Amino acid sequence: MITGTGVTKTYRQRGGMLAGRDVPALRGIDFAVPRGGAVSFIGESGCGKTTLGRIVAGLETYDSGEIVIDGTPMSPLSPKRRQPFFRRIQLIHQDPYSALNPTRTIQQTLTAPLELRARHTKRPGSWVDDRAEELLSLVGIDPGYVLGRYPHQLSGGMRQRVVIARALTVDPEMLVADESVSMIDVSMRLSILALLRDLRERLDIGLLFITHDIATARYIGDDSELYVLYRGQVVERGPTETVISAPVHPYTQSLLSATPVLHGLERPGEERVVPTEALDERQGDSGCLFARRCPFRTDRCDGERPSLVHGLDVSHEHACYHPRPRGVIPVEAVA
Amino acid sequence: MTIDLKGYGDDASTATLARAPGVRVRDLTVVYRTPLGELPALGGVSLTIEPGTITGIVGESGSGKSTLALSLLNAVQPPGRIASGSVEIDGLGDVVGLAGEELRRARGRHLGYVFQAAQNSLNPLKTVGKQVLDLGRSHGVADPRALLREARALLERMGLDGGRVLDSHQHQLSGGMRQRVGIMLALVLNAHLVILDEPTTALDMITQSTILRIVREVHQERGLTTLMVTHDIGVAAEVTDHLAVMYGGRVVEHGPTMRVLGAPSHPYTQGLIRAIPRLSGDPSEARALPGRPPTLGTLPVGGCVFRERCPERMAVCETVDPPRVTHGERTVACHAVEQAHDRAETAGYGPHRLDTANHRTGREELT
Amino acid sequence: MTLTISLPGRRDERGGRVSPRRAFWRGVGRVLRRKRGRVVGVAILALFAAMATVGPLLYPANLPRDDNALYAAPSLAHPFGTDFEGTDVLALVVTGARYVILTGLATAIITVALGTTLGLLAGLHRGRWDTVLMRITDLQLTIPGLPLLLVLSTVWKFESPLEMGLVLGLLGWGGVARAVRSQTLSLRERGFVEAARGLGLSSTHIVGRELLPSMAPYIAMNVLIAVTGAIYAQVGLFFLGVLPFESNNWGVMLNLAVFGGGALTTPAALPYLLAPLLAILLLTLGIVLVVDAMDEIFNPRLRED
């Protein structure tokens, strides 16, 4: 079980439009990923989802709040003591092209962490090769085909599978998949999503799924939870299907409304929500963070910031003063 | 679809008929020189684009969609070259035959090209306004002031502060603004054939939706023929009225977007649509296509390019490249579809997989 | 997956696992054969290596003089003529190669070791370490090499080529350090380096197996450029005559040909001048031709057909 409570992170902007200003990337995020469970974080670029993933994978530090891995809080530990805990959480990068060393064969890539593991667990050297082949079969590729090859000889989908196999070498408890399918050809995206779902079921591995494409979050298992991040704050969370089919926060509704409609196969939702203006990160931080773009804002929204509360359904939370479900997602057209 | 014709009046629709060019691609073959010899990126593509339509060219990596887009500008770069075929554009003639100064004039004046949002196609050292003037000078525009006015009007039409954007450098603009500047630069010389190359890649969902709305509106208002090249079938579905699906350097299916998506004919189109993560429908019914898209080196020689991933593979697919068959508004290149069609016809029923609205049947051989 | 998948060029080798080391050398051979210039470059370097190792063994310790043939014209017996003492110029060039090559090698080793270590340290430990190391590097880069060597040569005679190489190496690592640092900075952000850290792999592994192979072409190129510079510098020093006289040294030969033999005014000493010049040119050419292949040698994608 991996939990986060009130995780915050602020960057000081060095250059660009916001030079010299503090930019909050995360403003107190609470989340929990049970063993074998799945949680998706969705939002636009700059909403803090990637930062969160890197923090959870131990690649970045947090300013305040706490990450607890199997009951052990991380912040009191020294970086060295923290490492074995964070090793249980492996990050799957977005870009399978830069995630593999171009100068090393797949075999070299897999055996390095396996040899380390063999030494730690006092296993014989022969275990390493067997395990490498086993892991490749597990992620659905033919070991005989890929082991001797270099990354450039593999397709994007295969590379992403190798990256997942490499993460599995340390028997992780959770995978952080940051936009892991966005660079993969459409016809093969589902197979990677299915693999992630499969690993959850077969190996009881948890999944923190980070994406800008909400639709993909539906394919990692029907027990998953969805968190909608906006400017470093969770604005809506709940069971994935509930949030997608009955979103109540206007930001979630805008995101869902912006998803292209497959005309012919689908009809657009009746109540699509369009933000009144484009995202401007220089906007002030008072009141609701989405207020300036929100078509439904009232004076109250400008004054104080809403916090996460639940409605009738206790599992479905939102941070909005005027929550109302709207039919924004496309509806399947009847042929 | 109701289109807002802000400030452009009703004459926009009549202009459509008068100026939007049609495009006829015939047996276009583009080859790339590799250590393994010359390999075809486009293997005899034929595609007719009616004037005034907005057509999506969708395909995965290696489908040849970008090569096709570049061929329309006769801009295939070595080691690639157009080996055979023609690209006829109304008012321009065969683009394949153009070269040098003629070609340069055609680009910009007749053909507007909008580069990927991810690429920085703007000059980082010059303001947008300066780049508009450069463009005008290189195309011999007599009245630079009018050109700037036009640029500003276009930007304002797309919801930007025209004056401010013209005075800005690239780094001062957000991704969505840059993409709108790209569209403005493609249109400012009054081109009526516009090619958009992955116009929303790397843009956020909400920005993407805005850009797509603008593309559709500008297309209508200015009376354009628009081609949108994209790997994202959703993006194409959102704005286009026609869809050409590419695979392995061929157009495997072409027809009205609604029909292609609602009742896909080609097994690849069917598989692709089933493989798209969607917000509607049952996620457990979705299936990935087995295998992977071919690359230049793995493209099968002879026979159907899709057969290795095809659930309806037959003996004939191994040896014979399926011909392009047109029924009414729809064109498909698939042996299985053709046989099903023939069977239906001899049985006296209307063909069940293809449109019956127009009972005109035309066949064209695909080399 | 039920599909048969094949990749261009490797169809015959499916599944066949060749040891990576053998595959590497096979690839190197392929890359070198790809352009004729590279083969020539390798041949030139091999020739000079042979001259440096076995060259002096071919001749007696003290090269014979022939007082009857001072500044003799090229002939079959003396392809490049003779010098002011009647010694065969070719023999002088061949025996003189050892000093030049040894100096070059010493320079290369010191440049690589210092430049790579400091560059890696600076790139991996950003912050104070980086600042300090880069200031030192900048300092090194601003030292005017030749004047310093001139001053040094008044107190140090550089009898051993290794001493010479040491000094030239200490004056030449800055470029390599800068290149390695910038490469480290860009590579450390790459997914695979981050993944290695996340998997708990040791720093030795990360540096030795993940970082260095990726930046090897840059290091190799910078080193070869440094070596070329070192060869010019040392020949220059001897040419200027600030270092002790020793007849079989290319720089000294140039000096004697110009200032002693008047090669610039009389044609008699011309072969004596041209022979070491040609040797230097040839050696540099060899290096430049081989540098051309470095990028392809260390990049598996380019190494293939």
- For residue B5, pLDDT over 70 is answered with no
Sorted by sequence, the CB contacts under 8 Å of residue A170 that are 6+ apart come out as A87, A88, A90, A113, A117, C199, C200
Q: Is B367 on the interface with A (CB under 8 A)?
A: no
Instruction: Residue C184: give the domain boundaries.
Output: 39-298
In this structure, are residues B242 and B309 in contact, taking their beta carbons and an 8 Å threshold?
Answer: no
Q: C4 in a domain, yes or no?
A: no
A300 and A188 in one domain?
yes
A69 and A13 in one domain?
yes
Query: Which of chain A's residues have a Cβ under 8 Å away from the Cβ of C195?
Result: 91, 93, 99, 163, 166-167
Cβ count within 10 A of residue B46:
21
> How many whole angstroms separate alpha carbon B356 and alpha carbon B19?
31
> Which segments of B50-200 are extended strands (E)?
54-58, 80-89, 93-94, 111-114, 193-197
Give me the amino acid identity at A85.
F
The tokens for C158 are 């550089």
In chain A, whose CA is at the least distance from the CA of C210? Answer: A101
Total domains present in chain C = 1
CA distance B294 to chain C (A): 9
| Helices vs strands, H then E, count in chain A | 10, 14
A271 and A150 in one domain?
no
Query: Which of chain C's residues have a Cβ under 8 Å away from the Cβ of B292?
Result: 3, 5
Q: What is the per-residue pLDDT for A15?
A: 59
Q: DSSP letters along C223-281, please?
A: HHHHHHHHHHHHHHHHHHT-S---SS-HHHHHHIIIIIS-TTT-GGGHHHHHHHHHHHH
Predicted ipTM > 0.95: no
Closest partner residue to A99 (CB to CB) among C1, C16, C191 is: C191
> How many whole angstroms separate alpha carbon A299 and alpha carbon A316?
25
Instruction: Give me the sign of the Cα torsion angle A189, A193, A194, A199.
Output: positive
Sorted by sequence, the CB contacts under 8 Å of residue A267 that are 6+ apart come out as A261, A330, A331, A332, A333
CA dist A13 → B138, B338, C130 (Å): 40, 60, 21
Q: Is B234 on the interface with A (CB under 8 A)?
A: yes
CA distance B284 to chain C (A): 20
Q: A99 in a domain, yes or no?
A: no
Chains that touch A (3 or more CB pairs under 8 A): B, C
CA distance A289 to chain C (A): 31
Q: What is the per-residue pLDDT for B296?
A: 83
CB interface of C with A, residues 243-302, below 8 Å: 298-301
Torsion angle (degrees, nearest 10) of CA B148, B154, B158, B159:
50
> How many whole angstroms separate alpha carbon B89 and alpha carbon B112?
13
Give me the amino acid identity at C117.
T
> Which segments of chain A are extended strands (E)?
2-12, 22-33, 38-42, 64-69, 72-73, 89-92, 174-178, 206-211, 225-230, 233-239, 266-267, 309-310, 317-318, 331-332
Lowest mean pLDDT among A292-306, A314-328, B2-16, B265-279: B2-16
Chains that touch C (3 or more CB pairs under 8 A): A, B
Chain centroid to Cα B60, Å, comes to 13
Check A219 against B283: CB less than 8 A apart: yes
Which residues in C104-143 are b (16+ Cβ under 10 Å) and which e?
bbbbbebbbebbbbbbbbbbbeeeeebeebbeebeebeee
Of B200, B128, B136, B115, the C-alpha closest to B171 is: B128
- For residue B264, pLDDT over 60 is answered with yes
CB interface of C with A, residues 185-204, below 8 Å: 190-192, 194-202
DSSP 3-state assignment of A245? helix
The number of residues making up chain B comes to 367
Mean pLDDT of B340-360: 59
The tokens for B53 are 């339509």
Sorted by sequence, the CB contacts under 8 Å of residue B323 that are 6+ apart come out as B333, B338, B363, B364, B365, B366
CB interface of A with C, residues 281-300, below 8 Å: none
Q: A224 in a domain, yes or no?
A: yes
Closest partner residue to C300 (CB to CB) among A102, A109, A163 is: A102
Query: Which of chain C's residues have a Cβ under 8 Å away from the Cβ of A104?
Result: 209-210, 213
Of B200, C29, B264, the C-alpha closest to A259 is: B200
The vertex-C173 CA angle with C167 and C175, nearest 5°, equals: 140
In this structure, are residues C48 and C286 in contact, taking their beta carbons and an 8 Å threshold?
Answer: yes
Give me the amino acid identity at A22.
D
B232, B278, B287: best mutation site toward chain A, by most A Cβ within 10 Å?
A: B278
Q: A322 in a domain, yes or no?
A: yes
Q: What is the per-residue pLDDT for C94?
A: 84
Q: What is the per-residue pLDDT for C9?
A: 36
Check C8 against B309: CB less than 8 A apart: no
A291 and A261 in one domain?
yes
> How many whole angstroms separate alpha carbon A107 and alpha carbon C23?
14
Check C3 against B295: CB less than 8 A apart: no
Query: Which of chain B's residues have a Cβ under 8 Å away from the Cβ of A219?
Result: 277, 283, 286
A318 and A200 in one domain?
yes
In this structure, are residues A34 and A93 in contact, taking their beta carbons and an 8 Å threshold?
Answer: no
Query: Which of chain A's residues have a Cβ under 8 Å away from the Cβ of B208?
Result: 258, 260
Of B231, B152, B236, the C-alpha closest to B187 is: B152
Q: DSSP letters along B43-83, please?
A: EEEEEEE-TT-EEEEE--TTSSHHHHHHHHTT-PPTTEEEE
Q: Is A85 on the interface with C (CB under 8 A)?
A: no
Mean pLDDT of C53-58: 81
In this structure, are residues A218 and A292 in contact, taking their beta carbons and an 8 Å threshold?
Answer: no
A128 and A80 in one domain?
no
Residue finishing a domain among A127, A151, A171: A171
Of A152, A146, A218, the C-alpha closest to A189 is: A218
A216 and A116 in one domain?
no
* Element at B252 (helix H, strand E): strand B250-256
Q: DSSP letters along C60-119, please?
A: -SS----TT-TTPPP-SS-TT-B-TTS-BHHHHHHHHHHHHHHHHHHHHHHHHHHHHHHH
Q: C198 in a domain, yes or no?
A: yes
Which residues in C256-295 are b (16+ Cβ under 10 Å) and which e?
bbbeebebeeeebbbbbbbbbeebbeebbebbebbbebbb
Query: Which of chain B's residues have a Cβ under 8 Å away from the Cβ of A266?
Result: 278, 280
Angle between helices B267-275 and A186-203 (to 10 degrees): 50
Q: Which residue carries 């194409």 as its tokens?
A: B236
> How many whole angstroms separate alpha carbon A95 and alpha carbon C276?
54
Of B263, B102, B115, B274, the C-alpha closest to B196 is: B115
Tell me what the pLDDT averaged over chain C comes to.
80
Residue finishing a domain among A154, A171, A188: A171
Q: C6 in a domain, yes or no?
A: no
CA dist C19 → A111, B232, C25 (Å): 14, 41, 10
Query: Which of chain A's residues have a Cβ under 8 Å away from the Cβ of B233?
Result: 186, 262
What phi, psi does C21 have (nearest 5°)? Answer: -65, -45
Lowest mean pLDDT among A114-118, B149-153, C28-32: C28-32
A284 and A157 in one domain?
no
Q: C200 in a domain, yes or no?
A: yes
Check C8 against B298: CB less than 8 A apart: yes
Q: A226 in a domain, yes or no?
A: yes
CATH number at residue C277: 1.10.3720.10
In chain B, whose CA is at the least distance from the CA of C9? Answer: B36
In this structure, are residues A148 and A95 in contact, taking their beta carbons and an 8 Å threshold?
Answer: no
* Chain B contacts to C (CB-CB under 8 A): 34-36, 290-292, 295-298, 308-309
Closest partner residue to C8 (CB to CB) among B292, B297, B308 is: B297
Q: C15 in a domain, yes or no?
A: no
Q: A16 in a domain, yes or no?
A: yes
Query: Which of chain C's residues have a Cβ under 8 Å away from the Cβ of B301?
Result: none
> How many whole angstroms separate alpha carbon C90 and alpha carbon C81?
8
Of B229, B245, B240, B237, the C-alpha closest to B262 is: B237
C2, C18, C21, C190: best mutation site toward chain A, by most A Cβ within 10 Å?
A: C190
Lowest mean pLDDT among A168-172, B352-356, C156-160: B352-356
CB interface of B with A, residues 111-170, below 8 Å: none
Instruction: Residue A137: give the domain boundaries.
Output: 105-171
Check A101 against C300: CB less than 8 A apart: no
Mean pLDDT of B231-237: 92
Lowest mean pLDDT among A161-170, B80-89, C49-58: C49-58
Q: C16 in a domain, yes or no?
A: no
Check A103 against C7: CB less than 8 A apart: no
Mean pLDDT by 10-residue block, N- to C-terminus, for chain A (335 residues)? 94 67 89 95 91 94 95 93 94 89 92 93 91 95 91 90 96 94 87 94 95 93 94 95 95 94 90 84 81 92 91 92 93 77
For the segment B89-128, what is each residue's pLDDT rounded down to a tens digit? Answer: 998 889 998 888 888 888 878 888 888 755 567 888 899 9
Strand partners, A186: none
- For residue C63, pLDDT over 90 is answered with no
Closest partner residue to B298 (CB to CB) among C1, C7, C305 is: C7
Closest partner residue to A258 (CB to CB) among B205, B262, B292 is: B205
Mean pLDDT of C171-181: 87
CB pairs under 8 A between A and B: 137
Closest partner residue to C198 (CB to CB) among A58, A95, A142 is: A58
Total domains present in chain A = 2
Angle between helices C270-298 and C36-53 (to 10 degrees): 120
Angle between helices A156-168 and C191-198 (to 10 degrees): 20
> How many whole angstroms separate alpha carbon C98 and alpha carbon C46?
13
Closest partner residue to A262 (CB to CB) among B61, B234, B295 is: B234
Residue finishing a domain among A123, A152, A171: A171
Q: C291 in a domain, yes or no?
A: yes
Check B295 against C9: CB less than 8 A apart: no
CA distance A300 to chain B (A): 25
CB interface of C with A, residues 37-56, below 8 Å: none
Strand partners, B34: B37
Q: Is A191 on the interface with C (CB under 8 A)?
A: no
Q: Which residue carries 């299985």 as its tokens?
A: B336
CB pairs under 8 A between B and C: 25
Give me the amino acid identity at A41.
F
- For residue C169, pLDDT over 90 is answered with no
Check C3 against B290: CB less than 8 A apart: yes
In chain B, whose CA is at the least distance from the CA of C3? Answer: B291
Q: What is the per-residue pLDDT for B348?
A: 62
CA distance B140 to chain A (A): 36
Q: A96 in a domain, yes or no?
A: no
Check B277 against A189: CB less than 8 A apart: yes
DSSP 3-state assignment of A220? coil
Of A1, A51, A57, A59, the C-alpha closest to A29 is: A51
Q: C5 in a domain, yes or no?
A: no
Cβ count within 10 A of residue B101:
8
In chain A, whose CA is at the least distance from the CA of B209? Answer: A258
Q: What is the per-residue pLDDT for C222?
A: 82
